[in-house]
Amino acid sequence: MKNIRIALAQINPTVGDLSGNSKKIISYIKKARKIKADIIAFPELAVTGYPPEDLLLKPHFVQDNIEALHRIKSATENIVSVIGFVDSDDGIYNAAAVISNGKLIDIYHKKHLPNYGVFDEYRYFRAGNKYPIYDLSGIKIGVTICEDIWHEKSPAIVQALNGASIIINLNASPYHIGKALLREDIVSKLASKCEASVMYVNMVGGQDELVFDGGSFISDEDGNIVARGEQFRERLIVADIKVKGCNKKLTAGNRRTLKSIVLKGESVKKIKIGPGPKQGPKPLNRKRSFHALSVQGEIYGALVLGTKDYVHKNGFKGVVVGMSGGIDSALVTTIAVDALGKDNVHGIFMPSVYTSKESYEDVNGHVKKLGIKIMTIPIDTLFNNYLKTLSKFFKGKKADITEENLQARIRGNLLMAFSNKFGCLVLTTGNKSEMSVGYATLYGDMAGGFAVIKDVPKMMVFEICEWRNRKEGRALIPERILWKEPTAELKKDQLDTDSLPPYSLLDPILKAYVEDDRSFDEIANMGCDMTSAKRVISMIDHSEYKRRQAPPGIKITARAFGRDRRFPITNKYKSY
State which residue, 123 or 189, has the beta carbon closest to a copy of itself.
123
Instruction: Assess 91 for contact with a copy of itself (CB under 8 A).
Output: no
Interface with a copy of itself by CB under 8 A: which range of 180-188, 232-240, 265-273, 417-425? 417-425
Question: Of the candidates 103, 256, 368, 548, which one interacts with a copy of itself according to CB under 8 A?
Answer: 548
Q: Which of 24, 44, 184, 546 is the catalytic position?
A: 44
Specify whether 179 is catalytic. no
Strand partners, 219: 198, 225
Contact partners, residue 101, CB within 8 Å, separation at least 6: 76, 77, 78, 274, 275
Q: Give yes or no for a cis peptide into 478 (omega within 30° of 0).
A: no
Instruction: Assess 478 for contact with a copy of itself (CB under 8 A).
Output: no
Rounded to whole angstroms, the Cα distance separating 490 from 400 reads 11
Instruction: Assess 115 for contact with a copy of itself (CB under 8 A).
Output: yes
Q: Binders of a copy of itself among 357-376, rule CB under 8 A?
A: 375
DSSP string, 412-443: HHHHHHHHHHHTPEEEE---HHHHHHT-S-TT
Specify whether 110 is catalytic. yes
What stretch of H or E contains 218? strand 217-219
Instruction: Assess 395 for contact with a copy of itself (CB under 8 A).
Output: no
3-state SS of the chain: helix, strand, coil percent to 5? 40, 20, 40
Interface with a copy of itself by CB under 8 A: which range of 31-39, 162-170, 386-394, 524-532? 386-394
Question: Of the candidates 74, 267, 294, 385, which one interacts with a copy of itself according to CB under 8 A?
Answer: 385
Question: Of the candidates 406, 427, 464, 465, which one interacts with a copy of itself according to CB under 8 A?
Answer: 406
Question: Of the candidates 270, 397, 471, 474, which one interacts with a copy of itself according to CB under 8 A?
Answer: 397
How many residues bind a copy of itself (CB under 8 A)? The answer is 81
Rounded to whole angstroms, the Cα distance separating 305 from 508 reads 27
Instruction: Assess 174 for contact with a copy of itself (CB under 8 A).
Output: no
HSE toward the beta carbon, residue 192, CA cutoff 13 A: 9
Question: Of the candidates 30, 70, 103, 123, which one interacts with a copy of itself according to CB under 8 A?
Answer: 123
State which residue, 67 or 545, has the beta carbon closest to a copy of itself.
545
Instruction: Assess 390 for contact with a copy of itself (CB under 8 A).
Output: yes
Q: Binders of a copy of itself among 296-355, rule CB under 8 A?
A: 309-310, 313-314
- What three-state secondary structure class fits 89? coil
Question: Of the candidates 154, 169, 207, 329, which one interacts with a copy of itself according to CB under 8 A?
Answer: 207
Q: Binders of a copy of itself among 439-458, rule CB under 8 A?
A: 442-443, 447, 449
Compute, in degrees rounded to 10, the torsion defined by CA atoms 97, 100, 101, 102: -10
Sign of the CA dihedral with 130 first, then 134, 140, and 141 last: negative
List C-alpha distances in Å: 16 to 20, 52, 75, 118, 313: 9, 7, 21, 19, 11
Sign of the CA dihedral with 209 first, then 308, 56, and 27 last: negative
State which residue, 106 or 148, has the beta carbon closest to a copy of itself.
148
Report the nearest approach of a copy of itself to the CB of residue 226 (Å).
Answer: 34
- Pick the closest to residue 326 from 436, 450, 486 (CA basis): 486
Question: Of the candidates 6, 7, 11, 15, which one interacts with a copy of itself according to CB under 8 A?
Answer: 15
Q: Which of 121, 146, 184, 230 is the catalytic position?
A: 146
Instruction: Assess 501 for contact with a copy of itself (CB under 8 A).
Output: no
Specify whether 404 is catalytic. no
Greatest distance between any 2 Cα atoms in the chain? 89
Catalytic residue positions, numbered: 44, 110, 146
